[in-house]
Amino acid sequence: MQLPPLSLYVHLPWCERKCPYCDFNSHEIETIPEREYVAALLCDLDRDAHLAAGRSINTLFIGGGTPSLFSAEAIAELLQGLRQRLSFAADCEATLEANPGSAEARKFRDFRQAGITRLSLGIQSFDDDKLRALGRVHNRAQAMAAIDYARSAGFDSFNLDLMHGLPGQGRQDALADLQTAIDFAPPHLSWYQLTIEPNTVFHKRPPLLPVEDELGAIQESGEALLAQHGYQQYEVSAYSRAGAQCRHNLNYWRFGDYLALGAGAHGKVTTAEGRVLRYAKTRTPRDYLANALTTVEQRELDAQDLLGEFMLNALRLNQGFSLDQFEARTGLDRGALQPQLGELAARGLLDTAAEAVRASPLGRRFLDTVVAEFFPH
């Protein structure tokens, strides 16, 4: 069988301050043990390198936490160690997440020189009041400076991460925020609604958020504004100029494979025999640095898992997927999608024309409901 494309995700788990909405595996710290953590990452990879035997890494994503808190020297050491152990495609997309609070012009240039080809800047808002409400450590001026630093460092490819539906935010405020981002003409925008997740400060002490009708108006008006300025929506919350889609995230949504390194990182690999394995690394940085047993969970996906997880990812894409792609990625017959496809199409939630499947406009509004039909009840 033909194996899917392979990516690599590396998790750097520390941040300067934990945001009240954040449910990621991130931990506040004053002094990062850079050298020790890079060494642990490479030791972890030594154990997992067999999973990539004979395959090239097409995309790399370094997420967190706040990866830009790491020095450029540490990132360069990490990339050098990865290259010594893995084969990277000549056009590999290498993304690093960065926060404006830790942005420096020279550091961004050094990241670029080390081999990072794309930055994802966690702006979230250009409104100082909203940034304070979100617990961010940067302000509007720092956000704007970070974008200028990225450009001057030679990053032709970068993403601005922006939220809407913020505490006290009305439609005009949200659109003004979005217009500010658009005015910088970024190649890529991630624009998504703030949601309240369990085990967060906002979940314990919920802020006052816009009502449902206001959220719908923000979404509809924002999508029109982005389209007006030439941004194509290709996924639920991803918008890009032509040719500037995030290849790493596309690999997730197309049910590709990805190795995982770092505290709490999750991976998915397909074996030569066609078995699809999911695995997770130990969650706490302290345990990960102890470097004893890093992979704490591994399981093979059964037919029902494959069906549900494929749909969970692929239906996020505006273009959906072809039935040939479904069979190639899961090893299942297209008949496994029935009778859900017929039922959901009859309800106006899916479009199933020409051997392709995608969520209808109505289905996109109720995507969680659509996807739930493909998981066991």
Flag whether 272 is in a domain.
Answer: no
Query: In this predicted structure, what is the pLDDT of residue 62?
Result: 98
One domain for residues 72 and 183: yes
Query: In this predicted structure, what is the pLDDT of residue 355?
Result: 79
State percent of the chain over pLDDT 90.
93
Q: What is the CATH number of the domain that holds 213?
A: 3.20.20.70
pLDDT at residue 160 above 80? yes
Q: Assess contact for 281 and 294: CB atoms under 8 A.
A: yes
Long-range contacts formed by 289-296: CB under 8 A, 24+ apart: 289/33, 289/36, 289/37, 289/40, 291/40, 291/43, 291/44, 294/40, 294/44, 294/47, 295/47, 295/48
Query: In this predicted structure, what is the pLDDT of residue 376?
Result: 72
Please say which residue of 251, 276, 293 terminates a domain: 251
| Backbone torsions φ then ψ of 138, nearest 5 degrees | -110, 170
One domain for residues 244 and 308: no
Give me the number of domains the chain comprises: 2
State percent of the chain over pLDDT 70.
99
Flag whether 14 is in a domain.
Answer: yes
One domain for residues 51 and 165: yes
pLDDT classification of 353: cutoffs 50, 70, 90: confident
pLDDT at residue 102 above 70? yes
Q: How far apart are CA 304 and CA 300, in angstroms?
A: 11
Q: Which residues of 41-60 are buried (b: 16+ CB within 10 A; e: fewer)?
A: bbebbeebeebbeebebbbb
Q: How far apart are CA 108 and CA 114, in angstroms?
A: 10
One domain for residues 208 and 66: yes
**Side-chain half-sphere of 180: how many Cα atoms within 13 Å?**
19
Please report the sign of the dihedral spanned by the C-alpha atoms of residue 43, residue 47, residue 50, residue 51: negative
| Token pair for 105 | 């012009």
Q: Which amino acid is at 280?
A: A
| Backbone torsions φ then ψ of 220, nearest 5 degrees | -65, -45
Range of the domain at 316: 303-377
Please report the sign of the dihedral spanned by the C-alpha atoms of residue 71, residue 16, residue 13, residue 233: negative
> Tens digit of pLDDT for each residue in 107-156?
999 999 999 999 999 999 999 999 999 999 999 999 999 999 999 999 99
Flag whether 56 is in a domain.
Answer: yes
**Region 353-376: what's the mean pLDDT?**
91
Flag whether 289 is in a domain.
Answer: no
Q: How far apart are CA 269 and CA 274, in angstroms?
A: 10
Query: In this predicted structure, what is the pLDDT of residue 78?
Result: 98
Flag whether 277 is in a domain.
Answer: no
| Token pair for 169 | 């935010």
Record the pTM.
Answer: 0.96
Query: In this predicted structure, what is the pLDDT of residue 303?
Result: 94
**Region 17-25: what's the mean pLDDT?**
92
* Vertex 265 angle, CA 262 and 270, to 5°: 115
Which strands make up the sheet holding 321-322, listed edge to edge? 321-322, 356-359, 350-351
One domain for residues 133 and 32: yes
One domain for residues 43 and 178: yes
Q: What is the DSSP string of 9-48?
A: EEEE-EESS--TT--SS-EE-SS--HHHHHHHHHHHHHHH
Q: Which residues contact 354 (CB under 8 A, 6 or more apart)?
A: none
One domain for residues 56 and 193: yes
Q: Give yes or no for a cis peptide into 65 (omega within 30° of 0).
A: yes
Q: How far apart are CA 197 and CA 204, in angstroms?
A: 10
> Tens digit of pLDDT for each residue in 199-254?
999 999 999 999 999 999 999 999 999 999 999 999 999 999 999 999 999 999 99
Q: Which residue has the tokens 């990960």?
A: 288
Query: In this predicted structure, what is the pLDDT of residue 1?
Result: 65
One domain for residues 50 and 170: yes
Q: Which residues contact 347 (CB under 8 A, 6 or more apart)?
A: none
Flag whether 50 is in a domain.
Answer: yes
Please report the sign of the dihedral spanned by the C-alpha atoms of residue 240, residue 246, residue 252, residue 257: positive
pLDDT at residue 332 above 80? yes
Of the listed ranges 237-241, 276-280, 362-366, the one predicted with least confidence: 362-366
One domain for residues 202 and 314: no
pLDDT at residue 377 above 80? no
**Region 347-361: what's the mean pLDDT?**
92
One domain for residues 322 and 201: no
pLDDT classification of 292: cutoffs 50, 70, 90: low
